[in-house]
Amino acid sequence: MERRHKTKWVAVALFLIFPLFSFAQTAEKDHLSKPRALEMQFDSHLNRDNLRNWMKRLSARPHHVGSPYGKENAEFMAAQFKSWGYETEIETFHVLFPTPKTRVLEMIAPVKFTPTLSEPPLKEDATSNQTNEQLPVYNAYSVDGEVTGELVYVNYGVPRDYEELEQRGIDVKGKIVIARYGGSWRGIKPKVAAEHGAIGCLIYSDPRDDGYFQGEVYPKGAYRNERGAQRGSVADMPLYPGDPLTPSIGATKDAKRLPIKEAPTLTKIPVMPISYSDARPLLQALGGPVAPESWRGALPITYHLGPGPAKVRLKLEFNWNIAPAYDVIARIKGSEYPDEWIIRGNHHDAWVNGADDPISGMVATMEEARAIGELVKTGWKPKRTIIYCAWDAEEPGLLGSTEWAEAHADELKNKAVIYINSDSNGRGFLGMGGSHTLEKFINQVARDVVDPQKQISVADRTRAWRIVRGSPEDRKEARDRNDLRIYALGSGSDYTPFLQHLGVASLNLGYGGEDGGGSYHSVYDSFDHYTRFGDPDFDYGLALAQTAGRAVLRLADAEVLPFEFTNFAETVAKYAKEVAKLADDMREETEEKNRRIQEKTLEAAADPKETYLVPLPQAPVPFLNFAPLQNAVSRLQQSARDYDRSASHFAANGQALPAEKKKALNAILMKTERALTRSDGLPRRPWFIHQIYAPGFYTGYGVKTLPAIREAIEQRNWQEANEQVEIVARVIQGFADEIDRAAAVVAAATN
């Protein structure tokens, strides 16, 4: 489900030796070459033909959750994992999955127009004609409804867009809004529209963001053509992902379910996605003020805001069925630490054929698992348990992974060391997101994988990209910082339940940026499309297998788990500065805004021929008490340095940790991420318990770091902001306690 930002990557790499956790290996000199040899052996098993053949097979027919072919795929994969030596099972959950029964959209004024709501088969695309099995264009978890109203164009439909409308005297109450895709996760658009009183919501793909403005359209080029439309979930995922009827518990056959009417993550108003050929007559029929410049797309029209005279009727009814979701779970038991789990996953369900999303990541994951199976067959035994997962029902809202994580929450909290995710994958640069306690670890992996196009490390290539394409700050950091900064995880793929609901350290890996295209969530996300534009030779599929495979192998066999805390502490310090600056910036903006209102500058500058409503003054932004957070961060930095020094000192002495110390140390390390959670969760969304990373309440996929503090400030809830500073500070202090415990174990061993 995750949508890769095709040209935007978040943060640096010089060739630095892996400084901290090499100590165990350094100590045991004769083992030094063993991991490298193992990885070379692993590489030798990888075969690009498998990726191509499996993609062809898995994307041959539509395979959304509940579809016949989805089940076939799960069974096929389970058989494969078994054949590679994995203990494999299909774990089935029963989840709410609405599919369309009635889809009516028509413009009734000023002229009649009936959108097609369909993506036509193309002769250049072999699977695009499987209309019988394709899910039509729709948004899952829209409510049923029939509404008629004037249309208003709301740009991306995020909160600040409604402020712009308000200043122009435009109210969406009782209206149907039309928003363009982009600027936020799609589920935010109907949520914010309903908050402002709208009765219906259309979401269209504008060719500026997703069409001919970007490049030639399919089938001539890779980009979205005028009939292509984007399916997708609009559930209120920032509240909780997974089955809407079973929050926080596994959706097993007999689980206690909410009545559908009470499910809080369904939308409040009917929602429907459309293509740009369907949207154009609607937008063209809008009157009212011309849209602000940054709101205008690439249709050859003058963009107006409305409301009206365009008036539309939208009628939606769904089959509110419970569908079986088939998670394929495949294990190799650890030889020394069977209760320390390295979990690796990718989803297998798609909106339609899904060659890119998710099969491109799934086939790389399978090949990685197969090669590990080969290692086992030739005598290698992982110290820790390795679990490969192929999730179902990710597309409607991370259902397969979430239900599994909820169903096994206690065991996972006890045993999970890490969750490593991938999703769509393509030609380009390595994107690395995740827990910053793993930043040094994954950087070393990236230094050890060779870019298939350039024969330099993938770390070096990403670093070059940041130097050439990044902001001046990115460039400076890319040159000066030892490690490439990894991005913080918001949501949009299956790491969310592990990281944000269970506190399991997580990574999200994938290549992209040179695989431009616009097939996302359309029937044209096909084998034909992917093998022309995505990663034609599966070079980067192999690179992903090498990258995630190295991570799995190193974690499975590490003497001491490679968590590290100085990068994490530096990152949290950065976030702490950001939230303080956010409050300062808002204070300044509010002062400026109020000054303009008071001095009547806005009226003086406004064009009297256009409607302009002077906004109401806002309460000034008080100075907040960030001291508890700053003190906690300072303590965290000290603890991180202490552990680092202990470990280095130990390594320098050339000693190996005694077995029981190693065990005690790993037991602490594997659970450190849990200490970043708080059982009460975030304010008003208890499912999300991680205090450093969360998807934004008003961004959806987009991450909010230090979310409780940051969102309280953004929402001008100053009391809550002050309270959350104290709460988060305590969590960080507790995390520092864990680091101190780990340092004490090492220190005790050296004395």
Q: Which residues bind a second copy (CB under 8 A)?
A: 207, 212-217, 221, 223, 290, 296, 298-302, 428, 453-454, 456, 460-461, 463-465, 467-469, 514, 596, 601-605, 607-609
Nearer to a second copy, 379 or 608 (CB): 608
Closest approach of a second copy to the CB of residue 290, in Å:
5
Radius of gyration of the chain (CA): 26
- Burial per residue of 644-676, b for 16 or more beta-carbon CB atoms within 10 angstroms, e otherwise: bebbeebbeeebbbeeebbebbbbbbbbbbbbb
Closest approach of a second copy to the CB of residue 537, in Å:
12
Q: Name the one residue in this structure whose structure tokens are 């995020």.
A: 158
Cis-peptide into 110, omega within 30 deg: yes
Question: ∠138-144-148 over CA atoms, to 5°?
Answer: 90
Closest approach of a second copy to the CB of residue 137, in Å:
22
| Residue 690: partners with Cβ closer than 8 Å, 6 or more residues away | 499, 500, 501, 503, 676, 677
Closest approach of a second copy to the CB of residue 215, in Å:
5
Closest approach of a second copy to the CB of residue 293, in Å:
8
536/551 Cα distance (integer angstroms) = 25
Torsion of Cα atoms, 374 then 377 then 379 then 384, to 10°: 70
Nearer to a second copy, 467 or 573 (CB): 467
State both tokens at 279.
């949207």
Nearer to a second copy, 79 or 613 (CB): 613
Nearer to a second copy, 358 or 428 (CB): 428
Closest approach of a second copy to the CB of residue 539, in Å:
11
Nearer to a second copy, 103 or 481 (CB): 481
Handedness of CA 725, 728, 733, 736 (dihedral sign): negative
State both tokens at 441.
């670890």
Closest approach of a second copy to the CB of residue 585, in Å:
12
Closest approach of a second copy to the CB of residue 678, in Å:
39
State both tokens at 717.
């809830």
State both tokens at 730.
């305590």
Cis-peptide into 62, omega within 30 deg: no
Residue 442: closest CA among 423, 422, 428: 422
95/313 Cα distance (integer angstroms) = 30
Closest approach of a second copy to the CB of residue 427, in Å:
8
Nearer to a second copy, 74 or 122 (CB): 122
Residue 331's H or E segment, with its range, is strand 311-332
Nearer to a second copy, 126 or 301 (CB): 301
SS3 of residue 728 by DSSP? helix
Nearer to a second copy, 469 or 663 (CB): 469
Nearer to a second copy, 259 or 608 (CB): 608
Neighbours of 264 (CB within 10 A): 11
- Number of helices followed by number of strands (H, E) in the chain: 24, 15
Neighbours of 71 (CB within 10 A): 17
Closest approach of a second copy to the CB of residue 34, in Å:
31
Nearer to a second copy, 126 or 467 (CB): 467
Nearer to a second copy, 228 or 397 (CB): 228
Nearer to a second copy, 259 or 472 (CB): 472
Nearer to a second copy, 35 or 281 (CB): 281
Closest approach of a second copy to the CB of residue 150, in Å:
19
Closest approach of a second copy to the CB of residue 23, in Å:
32
441/456 Cα distance (integer angstroms) = 19
24/34 Cα distance (integer angstroms) = 13
- The residues with which 203 forms a beta bridge, in sequence order, are 179, 273
Closest approach of a second copy to the CB of residue 577, in Å:
21
Measured CA distances, 380 to 39, 140, 273, 373 (Å): 12, 45, 50, 9
Q: Name the one residue in this structure whose structure tokens are 């065990």.
A: 663
Closest approach of a second copy to the CB of residue 605, in Å:
4
Nearer to a second copy, 215 or 219 (CB): 215
DSSP state of 393: S
Nearer to a second copy, 298 or 667 (CB): 298
Closest approach of a second copy to the CB of residue 173, in Å:
27
Handedness of CA 737, 742, 745, 750 (dihedral sign): negative
742/568 Cα distance (integer angstroms) = 15
| Residue 438: partners with Cβ closer than 8 Å, 6 or more residues away | 418, 486, 505, 507, 562, 563, 564
